[in-house]
Amino acid sequence: MYAGQIVEQATREQLFARPLHPYTQKLFAALPHAARRNQPLTAIPGSVPPLGSITQGCRFTARCDKAWSLCSEKTPDWTEVGEGQGVRCHLYEGQGTRGKVQEVGSKGKSEQRQDDSKPTLHLAPCTLLLQVSDLRVHFPIRKGVLQREIGQVKAVDGVSMEIPRGRTLALVGESGCGKTTLGKALLQLIPPTAGSVRFAGRELIGANSREQRAAMQMVFQDPYASLNPKMRVAEILEEGMTALNIENNSAARQEHIDTLLDQVGLARNIKWRYPHEFSGGQRQRIAIARALAVSPQLLICDEPTSALDVSVQAQILNLLKSLQQKLDLSYLFITHNLAVVEYLAHEVCVMYLGRIVERGTAEEVLRAPKHPYTQALLSAVPRIDGARGERIRLEGDLPSPANPPQGCHFAPRCSHAMEQCRKSYPSATNHSPTHSVHCYLYGDSLG
Ligand code: SF4
Ligand code: SF4
């Protein structure tokens, strides 16, 4: 559907194998995945026109790179192209339809072939920026008039990880597994119960220096809720600079704001407008500019594209990639979208009920997952070519971190669970210098 009109109809198999309408083709081209990781995603320029604003011609004309004069003069009719597939586009009307279908369809295929090429990972030697050791965030459960502590919610339970400078670590797992709590604990927005967070070699827990607070910033999931609606863009960007004493006079701050707007691809003159005047993608750009305002080295991005449509998501992912290259930024990318992980991440940690159960390079975890939980997550990812592997269905819901299962937390949902799994938590087994997993299925953990 585009701008209030069905523009293409097909079976799932037909649509994935041979999308015909230029809009459908562009949606597929905007999807992130591993084969595109060394190139920008194709974002659709412009935005959807308001309903009723176009009364003549094809509603997609202004954004279509196949448009010609007829497209803006005459509204395309619905064309059946055979076997139940239909499309609203002049390219497929009248004589020669079959030839054109093949021509447009074959372009899609050649794009797909190019995408199927093996991804190349650049694993340059790099220095560690963030080192997290045995981090715990436990919340007390209190009851009664005296508010006696009767238990603990172990939201983060002994997490260790590292993020090198200029690299992206993706933290993946189901909602409620502790990902966001971990991100907030790194920023000290939630005080950790125990453990160590070292940033550029210096311990953060217990310290409260301005430079350290500036060095890590967060980009939130919801670009609508994360910006103060009563503040203009310039005020939003200036707020952090003032609080952290960055740029000591107003003129320098205004200059810095202009540079930030350039960096995130927004016009400088939007700085006097309010957040409600922007689309979701533009608001997320403003949120990224706000994070960059204090010159951080690490951005904690908490599902920053999950509220955006696929084309706007492509724009934001392109922006994050180019900012990383230009500014040598590191990202902790919290997400449940494994397609985004494939496109963006260098390393991956898989989190289940407060613990990291598998870690490795993106290639290792996504191509050769070892932990049954990672395998189940990956089996649920829809494939761009429409092919379906065997889906591993997880039984039951994520247990409560207030009452986690004994031993391996995943045991109640794991089809491979053994007696040993319910008794004690497996230690890490290394499959390579960078790939490790906590699971008794792999020899070294047994016993
Ligand atoms: S009718 Fe023209 S503008 Fe509309 S989708 Fe087809 S080629 Fe593009
Ligand atoms: S340790 Fe046992 S229960 Fe846990 S994931 Fe491995 S096989 Fe499954």
Pocket perturbation via mutation, ligand 2, pick of 416, 422, 429 by most ligand atoms within 8 A of CB: 416
For ligand 2, whether the C-beta of 414 sits within 6 Å is yes
pLDDT at 164: 94
**What are the tens digits of pLDDT across the range 132-164?**
999 999 998 888 887 888 888 899 999 999 999
Domain range for 81: 8-115
Residue 61: inside a domain, yes or no? Answer: yes
- Cβ-based neighbour number of residue 391 at 10 Å: 9
pLDDT at 389: 67
Q: Which of 35-49, 259-273, 396-410, 424-438 has the lowest mean pLDDT?
A: 35-49
Residue 87: inside a domain, yes or no? Answer: yes
Question: Quick one: which of 287, 298, 98, 104 has its CA closest to 212?
Answer: 298
Rounded distance from Cα 81 to ligand 1 centre (Å): 16
Nearest atom of ligand 2 to the alpha carbon of 409: 4
Q: Give the total number of structural domains in the chain.
A: 1
Task: Return the DSSP state at 5.
Answer: B
Nearest atom of ligand 1 to the alpha carbon of 71: 2
Rounded distance from Cα 375 to ligand 2 centre (Å): 12
For ligand 1, whether the C-beta of 61 sits within 6 Å is yes
For ligand 1, whether the C-beta of 66 sits within 6 Å is yes
Six-digit token string for 60: 């997609």
Residue 108 has pLDDT above 60, yes or no: no
Mean pLDDT of the chain: 86
Q: Which of 168-177, 301-310, 421-430 has the lowest mean pLDDT?
A: 301-310
Residue 306 has pLDDT above 60, yes or no: yes
Residue 425: inside a domain, yes or no? Answer: no
Nearest atom of ligand 2 to the alpha carbon of 357: 5
Rounded distance from Cα 70 to ligand 1 centre (Å): 9
For ligand 2, whether the C-beta of 440 sits within 6 Å is yes
Residue 119 has pLDDT above 60, yes or no: no
pTM of the model: 0.83
Residue, of 212 and 41, whose pLDDT is higher: 41
Rounded distance from Cα 52 to ligand 1 centre (Å): 18
CA distance 341 to 361: 11
- For helices 250-263 and 233-243, give the axis angle rounded to 10 degrees: 120
pLDDT band at 117 (very low <50, low <70, confident <90, very high): very low
Residue 32: inside a domain, yes or no? Answer: yes
Residue 137: inside a domain, yes or no? Answer: no
For ligand 1, whether the C-beta of 22 sits within 6 Å is yes
Residue 317: inside a domain, yes or no? Answer: no
**What are the tens digits of pLDDT across the range 252-288?**
889 999 999 999 988 999 999 999 999 888 899 999 9
Rounded distance from Cα 319 to ligand 1 centre (Å): 28
Six-digit token string for 334: 């919290």
- 179 phi/psi in degrees, rounded to 5: -60, -50
Residue 118 has pLDDT above 60, yes or no: no
Nearest atom of ligand 2 to the alpha carbon of 417: 3
Residue 81: inside a domain, yes or no? Answer: yes
State which of 200-204, 309-313, 373-377 shows the largest mean pLDDT. Answer: 373-377
For ligand 2, whether the C-beta of 417 sits within 6 Å is yes
pLDDT band at 106 (very low <50, low <70, confident <90, very high): very low
Strand order in the sheet with 168-172: 216-219, 298-302, 330-335, 168-172, 347-352, 355-361, 436-438, 428-430
CA-nearest residue, atom 1 of ligand 2: 439
Residue 384 has pLDDT above 80, yes or no: no
Rounded distance from Cα 413 to ligand 2 centre (Å): 9
Rounded distance from Cα 68 to ligand 1 centre (Å): 8
**What are the tens digits of pLDDT across the range 16-34?**
888 999 999 999 988 887 7
Q: Which of 116-125, 228-237, 265-274, 297-306 has the lowest mean pLDDT?
A: 116-125
What is the secondary structure of 251-313 as a DSSP string? Answer: HHHHHHHHHHHHHTT--GGGGGS-GGGS-HHHHHHHHHHHHHTT--SEEEEESTTTTS-HHHH
For ligand 1, whether the C-beta of 136 sits within 6 Å is no
CA distance 435 to 364: 7
Residue 107: inside a domain, yes or no? Answer: yes
Residue 308 has pLDDT above 90, yes or no: no
pLDDT at 386: 57
Rounded distance from Cα 422 to ligand 2 centre (Å): 9
Rounded distance from Cα 57 to ligand 1 centre (Å): 9
Six-digit token string for 264: 């995130």
Residue 314 has pLDDT above 60, yes or no: yes
For ligand 2, whether the C-beta of 353 sits within 6 Å is no
**What are the tens digits of pLDDT across the range 316-368?**
899 999 999 999 999 999 998 888 999 999 999 999 999 999 999 999 999 99
Rounded distance from Cα 18 to ligand 1 centre (Å): 17
Nearest atom of ligand 2 to the alpha carbon of 408: 4
